Amino acid sequence: MIIGDRLRQLREERKLSQGDIEKRTGLLRCYISRVENGHTVPAVETLEKLARAMGVQLYQLFQDTTEVPAKGMKSITAKGPSRVDDVLTSKLNKLRGTDRRLLLKLVDRMTRQPVKKVA
């Protein structure tokens, strides 16, 4: 799963346009397009805005199922972040440039569905 593809999938499932997301987040429509097409890697804060705009929890951007995260791990909800999210977000915000891109690529690869080999 590529994060841009997942964002587009969630947006289309909710019958939202990029313009709707622009109004809800304040992010420019052209930026949303660049993220969905894989030309831009969004910051964690931006992912939080996008998740809230689509009414999903942050972890749902990184998986294709509706499974609840592991016990004890809370995700961002409409009511706001939990203490665990505050700590994780704080640590992620300290990452810059290459480190952030590397982490997001790692998350992307970890959440991909395994490819079945044809014999």
Query: pLDDT per residue over 18-29, tens digit each?
Result: 999 999 999 999
* Residue 97 pLDDT grade (very low, low, confident, very high; cuts 50, 70, 90): confident
Q: What is the reported pLDDT for 77?
A: 46
* Residue 102 pLDDT grade (very low, low, confident, very high; cuts 50, 70, 90): confident
Q: Where are the domains of the chain?
A: 3-111
pTM of the model: 0.55
* Residue 109 pLDDT grade (very low, low, confident, very high; cuts 50, 70, 90): confident
What does the CA dihedral 109, 62, 54, 74 come to, rounded to 10 degrees? -160
pLDDT digits (tens, 9 = 90+) for 39-86: 888 888 899 999 999 998 888 888 765 445 555 444 444 445 556 666
Distance CA 19, CA 73 (A): 32
Instruction: Say if residues 47 and 104 touch (Cβ distance below 8 Å).
Output: no
CATH topology of domain 3-111: 434 Repressor (Amino-terminal Domain) (1.10.260)
